[in-house]
Structure formats: C-alpha cells, structure tokens
Structure 1
Amino acid sequence: MSGVQRAAIVLLSLGEAQAAEVLKHMGAKEVQKLGVAMTSVGGVTRDVVAHVFDDFVDTLAQPGVSGSAADEYVRAVLTQALGEERASSLIDRILMGRNTSGLDSLKWMEPRAIAELVRNEHPQIIAIVMAHLDSDQAAEVLKCLADRVRVDVLLRLATLDGIPPHALNELNDVMQRQFAGSQNIKSSSVGGIKVAANILNFMDSGQDEVILGSIGEIDGELGGRIRDLMFVFDNLADLDDRAMQSVLRDVPSERLALALRGADAKVKEKVTTNMSQRAAEILLEDMEARGPVRLVEVEAAQKEILAIVRKMAESGEIQLSAKAEAFV
C-alpha cells in the first residue's frame, strides 16, 4: 500500500471535521492526490485499518525536531538522499517557499485565470510568477498568453538567476492588488534554464519548437542550452533498468500502450525488457488491438508518463542519465 493510500485511510477514519482540518494545511496537488486515493481505498478490512494506525502511532511516537533545528534536519536529510547539487534547489523551494504565500495561492487557480491575472503585467513579473508554479501548470498558463509574450517570458525565465529586489517589490504589489493579507517576500533562487526547459516539456508538440526557434534567433547559445536540457519521451530509453521498473509500477498499463504507439523502437525495447514475458505480451497485444489512434491522444499519454518520471526524479525515487538529470 502506498503512502498516499495509507494517509487516505487515516483521513477516512478521522471523520469529516478532523479530516477537513488536516487538508487545510496541504497544497493543491496534495489535496488532489489524497482525494483520489480516498475514493479508491474502499472495502479495506478492519485489520488493515488497525495496522495502518499502528504504524501511524509509531511514527508519531518518534522523537521530532522543531524550529531552526527542523530546517537543518530537512537540509541534511535531503542532501544525504539526493546529493548536494540535486538537493539545493529543492531545499530552496521548501525552506524559502514558506515566505511566498501569495504565489502559493496561485497553485489553486485554473491556468486560464492565472493568465488573465498576469496578462497585463511586465514580462519580468510574469516570468517570476511562472517560476513559482509547477512546470505543468506553468506550461498551461504559457499556452494562454500571446505568442510574442510567450517568447519574452520564457527568455526572461531562462536567464533568471535569483530575484532582484525591484522585481520582488513589483511582484508584491501584484499580490497585494489581487489577494488580501499579502506579506513581504524574501529573495530566493528561482527560474533558470532548467525551469524553462521543464516548462517547455509540457507544451504541446510544435509550440515548444516555435518558442525555441524564437529564443534561438535572439540568443542562439541560450536556445541550444535549453534544448539540451529538455527531456522527451524517447529519452526514456536512457533510464537504467531499475529506474524503468520503478516507473512501470506507477504507469497505468492502458496509458503505456497508447504512449508507445508513437515511440522510438529503443523505448519500446527498454519497456518490454523490463517487464515479465507475459506482461510484455499483453502490452503488445493491447497495442495491436487498439487500431488507429489520433496523434493528440498518443502525445497526451506520453506527457502523462513524462510527468510521472519527472515527479519520481524530483523526489529521488529514480535517477536519470547525466543529460536528463539537468531538468530536475
């Protein structure tokens, strides 16, 4: 049973009022994942619930840390788990992100609503906002902006190395106009080429090339560096066998069969060689039985799988090849 499913069982057992109080302290994606899990863990036996709660109580009984000691504990654990370079940006997002409540509130909004919110702002402000969103959400926002604005925003985001004080003040003004009770935001390290590449990974096929082409005309070297860091579906062939097996455990078989319809032969081979013989046969049979499918459906399935891979890489569950690691 996954951690999300175990958490769902605990929440379901607490009752509506208590569960609601817990969910108030979580982010949008956490609430969504838990909500899905809570609807899918029905029929759990009393023994399983008791076992989950025993583990939960044991976890609560462990000695904890607080205050500044907690920050150092988080920093040390993440560095030990992910390595200095990979952990540094994640640590910044976790520890410094506590001071960006105004920006965090945007994560609960529809991408089109965010685009309307920032449409008339300076591209530098839009770039900072985009840097604080999850890459898939930022890509959806980017799709809602005018073509000329897309290029300008992504160019600024790729060259963003920390947030200058004047830009933070402008951003704080935007938040004050839109949300009550905004607070001062401390400077943090966000944006950069990796973020720009990751956002482009979530753009529709063709849109990413248009934006990259425009950036290349302005700054050829920068466009090339962004392109080098982009992680596409065919790059799955570069995963080691253990990482691929972990990915396959999290990917629904029907989405995998659809995504592989448009994949390179090396990717198909990587997938099938990391499955049991029977599972590989079922997958290939499913692909053949589907008949013709629309390209947009294949691309959507591939993007879903890439999103899973990125999340697993960011959490340290898998490691990517040297080139692919750059986007994490």
Structure 2
Amino acid sequence: MTTEPPELKRYSGPQRAAALLLALGADNGSTLWEQMSVEEIKELSTIMAQLGSVPAAVVEHLLLQFSTEVSTISSLHGSYETTERLLQDVLAPDRAKQIMEDIRGPSGRTMWDKLSNVSEAVLASYLRGEYPQTVAVIMTKLKSEHAARVMAALPRDFAIDVIQRMLRMEPVQKEIVGEIEETLRNEFMSNLSRSQRRDPHELMAELFNALDRSTEEAMLTALDNRAPDSAERIRALMFTFEDLGNLLPPAIATVVKNADKRMMALALKGAPEAMRTLFLGAMTERAAKMMREDMASMGPVRARECEEAQSQLVRLAKSLADRGEIVLVDPKNDEAMIY
C-alpha cells in the first residue's frame, strides 16, 4: 500500500476534490460535474481557482485513491432507496425520478404495462428463447400496437408458430398467467435493470486510457499492490494502441484518413515495425512514402511524445467507433465488439 505524501496534509477535503477534478480534466471529469448542484459547482470552482501549484505526488495519490475507491465500489451497500436519496440530493427532482425509473425498469402499474414500455427489439430478443405457447400468452396481454412490433422483430417461423397458437388459444388459468408474470419479473425485468448499470471498472479503464503511458503504468502498478483484482480487470477492459492492430483493413484506412498527419507520424515512429507496416499499408504508395520521410526528418523524439500521439490515435479510433464509422474488435474476446 502506498503512503500518503507529506504535502497532502496541507489540503482540505474540498481542496483535494478540486485538485482531483482539475487533474481529470474536461473529458474525464464531465460525468462528475454533471452530478453536482449549482452551489457545489460554484464552491469547487472557487477553490480550484485558488489552488495554485499542486505537487505531482499529491495529484498522483489523489488519482490512485479515486481509482481504487471506484474500482472497489462493490464493497459498498447499495439499494434502490439509498440510491434514490442520493440522487434527490444531487439532481433536480425530475431528473432523479427519470433515472430511478430507468434503474427500476420500465414504468407501469402492472407487469404487462411495463412490458409495453420495453423496446420491441429487447423484448423480442428475450422471447425468442421461450416456448411459443408462453410467448403466445404474453402477446395476448400486451397492447396490440406493441405486440405487433414485437412480433415483427421475432424470427418469421417462430412468429407464425406463436400466431397459430394465439388463434387456437383457450382461456388461460389464472395460476399459469401468475407464473409467467413472476418469471418475467424475476428473470427478464431484473436482468434488464442490471444490464443498464455500468461496471465502474469500465469507467476507470476509460480514464486510464486517457493517461500518458508512464503515468498509466505507474498507477496500475500501484493499484496492483492495493487492489490486484481491480487492476487486472481494468487492464482487461483497456483498449490500447497495440489493440489497433486487430482492426479490419477498412477501419484502419478510416483512422488513417481522419488522423492528423504529424500525430500519425509521431505515433508510428515509436511503434513496432509490424504496426508501422499495417498503417502504412492502408495508405497510397505516395502517402506511405511521404509518411516515412516525415518520420525520418523528425530525428530523435522523446518517447513520451510518441506515446501521447499513440494515445490520441486510440481516442480518435474510439471516437470514430462511437459515431458508427468503424467497429473496434475487442482483442480479449474473439466474438465481442465494442461500439
């Protein structure tokens, strides 16, 4: 476990929070700022403006402490009630209500009301694994407009089977309907709510991706000593420059097309020859020749500059993926994809 730097004692709790948010910057800290009230933002902004120079050891300790606490968040006791109270304290009432409705699942007085507020694609994906007779009962309980959309999203043969059973259906015993409701509540609705929650390790992986290579390694090494399981999970979720080598050729060509040429030259100058060949191969012969000349004309450059350029290239690729222009294949899973 790392010890606190002596300089840390000079900083109060609000000052530490302000320093942490300043270190996270706009991109990584925006989610935290959005959760604050106007008064909290004003208070922290005032403290931030008066911080002056903060020692690097203090900044590193605050970031490490933050990453450790977020990564081990599962040790906290959370419930719908405590979460709702927290959101009501930091958000506007309407926004807190909307978020809690999303967490609890679709709104509605009955199970069938709730199902009618679930996306037809999501509901159809679940129902295609059920018995056609069960799906037929569920379809008769949904609003006709929503049932039609769900039916259209089901595989054609499966949907026809369900329709035939609906046509022949006799009154269903109340006990059977109750069992179906209970199954939907315990399996589908609970899984739907859990799927909407984000793993805190994913947040930390994004934060670490935005750090320069030396800081990233130093913090992960320190985290290894304090929370090795969390460190391993974060490493598995991080998307690195080396992972770009798993992109399909069209995706690499799109990254090359959108990248700043100097950034690309710096990134490739510090890259293994295999990565250079991969990216240069996505360029025209003339462009590849000019890129090699640009790299050669740079002369010696600091490794940190190359690493920062590589990080920028990763951020560009993730931005392109967010816009749907490319697909990032997750190297830790042969079938999974990150969009």
User: RMSD value over aligned CA atoms?
Assistant: 4.1
Q: 1:184 aligns with which of 96, 108, 126?
A: 96
1:296-322 deviation digits (Å, cap 9, x = unpaired): 322222222111101112232211223
Q: Are 1:198 and 2:206 an aligned pair?
A: yes
Using the TM superposition, give the Cα deviation of residue 211 of structure 1 relative to its aligned residue in structure 2, in angstroms. 2.9
Q: What TM-score results when the alignment is normalised by the length of structure 1?
A: 0.50
Letter in 1 for 2:305: E
Q: 1:208 aligns with which of 210, 213, 216?
A: 216
Residue number in structure 2 paired with 1:169: 85
8 A contact 2:64–2:219 mirrored in 1: no
Unpaired runs of 5+ residues, structure 2, are 1-25, 50-57, 104-196
Q: CA 1:215/1:259 → structure 2, altered by over 3 Å: closer, same or farther?
A: same
In 1: Cα distance, 2:259 partner to 2:47 partner: 31
Using the TM superposition, give the Cα deviation of residue 165 of structure 1 relative to its aligned residue in structure 2, in angstroms. 4.3
Using the TM superposition, give the Cα deviation of residue 227 of structure 1 relative to its aligned residue in structure 2, in angstroms. 0.9
Residue number in structure 2 paired with 1:80: none
| Structure-to-structure mapping, 1:1-328, within 5 angstroms | 102-103=34-35, 113=45, 146-156=62-72, 165-174=81-90, 183-184=95-96, 186-187=99-100, 188=103, 189-323=197-331
Q: CA 1:183/1:204 → structure 2, altered by over 3 Å: closer, same or farther?
A: same
- More displaced stretch, 159-168 vs 220-229: 159-168
Letter in 2 for 1:169: R
In 2: Cα distance, 1:277 partner to 1:160 partner: 56
> Secondary structure at the residue paired with 2:329?
coil
8 A contact 1:158–1:195 mirrored in 2: no
Letter in 1 for 2:308: A
8 A contact 1:115–1:145 mirrored in 2: no
Letter in 1 for 2:314: L
Q: CA 1:233/1:192 → structure 2, altered by over 3 Å: closer, same or farther?
A: same
Residue number in structure 1 paired with 2:134: none
In 2: Cα distance, 1:216 partner to 1:266 partner: 30
Unpaired runs of 5+ residues, structure 1, are 1-27, 30-96, 118-141
Letter in 2 for 1:241: P
8 A contact 2:73–2:200 mirrored in 1: yes
Using the TM superposition, give the Cα deviation of residue 281 of structure 1 relative to its aligned residue in structure 2, in angstroms. 0.1
Larger radius of gyration between Structure 1 and Structure 2: 2
Using the TM superposition, give the Cα deviation of residue 174 of structure 1 relative to its aligned residue in structure 2, in angstroms. 4.3
8 A contact 1:172–1:184 mirrored in 2: yes
Q: CA 1:166/1:297 → structure 2, altered by over 3 Å: closer, same or farther?
A: same
Letter in 1 for 2:270: G
In 1: Cα distance, 2:78 partner to 2:46 partner: 22
1:131-173 deviation digits (Å, cap 9, x = unpaired): xxxxxxxxxxx96772552333341468899985424533543
Q: CA 1:286/1:317 → structure 2, altered by over 3 Å: closer, same or farther?
A: same
Q: CA 1:152/1:241 → structure 2, altered by over 3 Å: closer, same or farther?
A: same
> Share of identical aligned residues, percent?
25
1:232-290 deviation digits (Å, cap 9, x = unpaired): 11222111101101111110111101111211212101101111111000000000011
8 A contact 1:162–1:191 mirrored in 2: no
8 A contact 1:313–1:319 mirrored in 2: yes
Residue number in structure 1 paired with 2:141: none
Using the TM superposition, give the Cα deviation of residue 191 of structure 1 relative to its aligned residue in structure 2, in angstroms. 4.0
Q: How many residues align?
A: 201
In 1: Cα distance, 2:75 partner to 2:257 partner: 37
In 1: Cα distance, 2:239 partner to 2:46 partner: 26
Residue number in structure 1 paired with 2:21: none
In 2: Cα distance, 1:227 partner to 1:173 partner: 34
Using the TM superposition, give the Cα deviation of residue 182 of structure 1 relative to its aligned residue in structure 2, in angstroms. 8.3
Letter in 1 for 2:86: E
